Structure 1
Amino acid sequence: MPDRLLIFLAQHARLVPERLLRGLFLAAADFCWLFRIGGVRQLERNLAHVMPEVDHPSLRRTSRQGMRSYFVYFVEALTVGARTKEQLLARIHGGGSAYPDPAKTDIGLRSLPIGMGHQGNWDYAGFWACSTVGQVTTVAERLRDQGMLNTFADIRRRLGMNILLTGEPNITGRLTTLLREPDQVVPLLADRDLSRRGVFVRAFNSWIRVAAGPAVIALDARLPLYTVNMHREKLTGERRRQAKAPYGYVCQVDGPIAIEPYLDMPRKQAINDLTQAWVDQWAQGIREHPEDWHMLQPIFLEDLDLSRMHDLPDFILAQASKNKGGNRHEGTRAKA
């Protein structure tokens, strides 16, 4: 999507009817899906890991739902400035095994570190958490386009969130310090991190590299770790009237994962094992609602270009070689 157009729409949200914009974006999503462009092929490869039992027509139907969900997210993010608090609160509510309790009990005593993925509408989730749970601080990726970066950071700040940017000094330490204060919520989008700082974990009968951040801040702050999944739901009746939208979201909070079993482990093992624990919990939510996972980039080992990656564990190099029938993959090994 042209960045200038997105910035214009976000800055003039009140001038653009949301229903009209939704219709245009849904048409664009269907166009991309029909001709399998704009990340559709990769989305379907990712979904094939999540849904290995389904036939091709079912996979295609899910990928269409996924593209429509993804494009609608942009509509909602760009027009959120034109929504009232009442509309937004009608569009999202909490659920899951840990909400309202023990999450609500925990926030009354301490703070909540959270691992989550690119699902649903995480801007709405941040607004909901600020309004009903506690003060939200999160990290946004530093985009190359400064205008886009400022636009989306400003959107989230207007929703009540504190925003840190990747590349700022000592982010992990700042988040850990924040978590030692009461009533703080620190959700981190963590389902893909191909950098040398990422952690390889098992997911959907393969391997993915995810961010270590949720596990690190939970361990350093000595707090149990929660996970969040999001999915869309159809609105009816009074809630639909208040939301002025046909669909809303469920913010599914699960956990907590106690950190005590990990505290006596070597640091690296503790981070790896706790990361695996929250990914296992998160993956269940993806299985239940794969249509709202907005992962249009390579994430599974079979799709990664290891020659561009660094500090790869030997077991990952061995697994990649096995997947390719013994062909050697080049990539830098992790230091012993």
Structure 2
Amino acid sequence: MSGTLAARLTDAGFAAGWHAVRLLPEPAARGAFDRAGRWAAGRDGTGIRQLRANLRVATGGRLSEPELAALTTRAVQSYARYWQEAFRLPTLSSERIVAGTEMVGLEHLEKARAGGRPLVMALPHSGNWDAAGVWFIDWLDGPFMTVAERLRPESLYERFLAYRESLGFRVVPLTGGPRPSTEVLRDWLRAGGVTCLLVDRNLGSGGVPVQFLGRSATLPGGAALLAAQTGAALVPAVCQFTERGWRVVLSPEVPVDGPGRLKDRVAGAMQSVADAFAPSIADRPEDWHMLGRIWPDVPPDPPRGTAAGEA
């Protein structure tokens, strides 16, 4: 299959999903995506095997292989729940989302806002960050700004852009925009705005070396750099699912000012962000949807039934 045809089919699939899932009763939609998650976990593709390897690290290697397999299945079902909710979220009232969201550590946001400071929220790929964004817009009584990776085909990127903007987000492309995304975010923050950035996987060539969940990784340093340049409060946040809704665990502000070189302060701040993520990910590892490689020495697991040395 050509790359162009595959891209068109992918976009068509998302378009159909956004339309069809909204027509289903919510229990039926959730049940269908739950079954799809189990099916995807059973296929044991490369992303699933990377997820399993990542979860082995996140759980400290304490689980037996059957326990880890069960956790991986729950994690894929959690990720399927995210997609089911993504397809339906624009049809849900903000009142319902706000009422169904539990905020842990809200005082850390209130402290920064009481001081009239802008905010940089740093998040991992966990739970439903879109639902958390709806809560956040209601709390701010206005929009926040975020960055979106440029997807291919362009029509799929435009579809995701329209989706998030329909929720009230302001979205700038990571690359390919009329101005560099860092410039747009910096101006937004200096005007008193708020930005939310996913920072648990580095997609560029740079990044900041940290210890994350006990292993060496590289995280993007943009969130800490923006906070240092604008005086914004850098607040880590981890989204989780609950039985009927959502939870967001907020950590205290991570300082980025003080003596020393800017490069060192950014590196220290991102280490503190990684440290803040760790307890919540360890508490609900199934809600951490990391199907990509983040540790250089943690490749995807070999296919099931294959010895590691034969992979």
Q: What TM-score range do you get, normalising by the shorter chain?
A: 0.7 to 0.9
Matched, 1:208 2:217: yes
Aligned equivalent of 1:233: 242
- Residue type of the alignment partner of 2:101: I
Aligned equivalent of 2:188: 178
| Alignment match of 1:128 (pick from 126, 130, 135) | 135
Q: Please, which runs of 5 or more residues in structure 2 have no aligned partner?
A: 1-8, 301-311
Contact 2:50 2:299 (C-alpha < 8 Å) held by counterparts: no
Contact 1:48 1:59 (C-alpha < 8 Å) held by counterparts: yes
Identity of aligned residues (%): 27
SS at match of 2:297: helix
| Alignment match of 1:62 (pick from 54, 60, 71) | 71
CA deviations over 1:43-65 (Å, ceiling 9, x no partner): 11001111122222221221111
Aligned equivalent of 1:331: none
Contact 2:224 2:256 (C-alpha < 8 Å) held by counterparts: no
| Alignment match of 1:152 (pick from 160, 166, 169) | 160
| Alignment match of 1:259 (pick from 244, 256, 259) | 256
| Alignment match of 2:126 (pick from 102, 119, 122) | 119
Aligned equivalent of 2:90: 81
Contact 2:94 2:135 (C-alpha < 8 Å) held by counterparts: no
Aligned equivalent of 2:47: 39
Matched, 1:286 2:269: no
- Residue type of the alignment partner of 2:42: L
Higher relative contact order (CA 8 A, sep 6+): 2
Q: Please, which runs of 5 or more residues in structure 1 have no aligned partner?
A: 235-246, 306-336
SS at match of 2:282: helix
SS at match of 1:301: coil
SS at match of 2:210: strand
Contact 1:13 1:80 (C-alpha < 8 Å) held by counterparts: no
Contact 2:112 2:233 (C-alpha < 8 Å) held by counterparts: no
Aligned equivalent of 1:332: none
Contact 1:9 1:79 (C-alpha < 8 Å) held by counterparts: no
| Alignment match of 1:137 (pick from 145, 154, 170) | 145
Q: CA deviation at 1:198?
A: 1.9
Q: CA deviation at 1:127?
A: 0.8
SS at match of 1:226: strand
CA deviations over 1:97-154 (Å, ceiling 9, x no partner): xx1x131232241211111110011111111100013531100111012222112211
CA deviations over 1:73-103 (Å, ceiling 9, x no partner): 001101112212222223323113xx1x131
Aligned-partner Cα distance in 2 for 1:175–1:290: 30
Distance 1:274 1:95, change over 3 A: same
Aligned equivalent of 1:239: none
Aligned-partner Cα distance in 2 for 1:80–1:220: 34
Aligned-partner Cα distance in 1 for 2:18–2:296: 36
Aligned equivalent of 1:163: 171
| Alignment match of 2:246 (pick from 243, 249, 256) | 249
TM-score by length of 1: 0.80
- Residue type of the alignment partner of 1:105: K
SS at match of 2:223: helix
Distance 1:3 1:17, change over 3 A: farther
Distance 1:85 1:194, change over 3 A: closer
Q: CA deviation at 1:2?
A: 3.9
Distance 1:194 1:102, change over 3 A: closer
Aligned residues: 287
Aligned-partner Cα distance in 1 for 2:220–2:249: 20
Q: CA RMSD in A?
A: 2.0
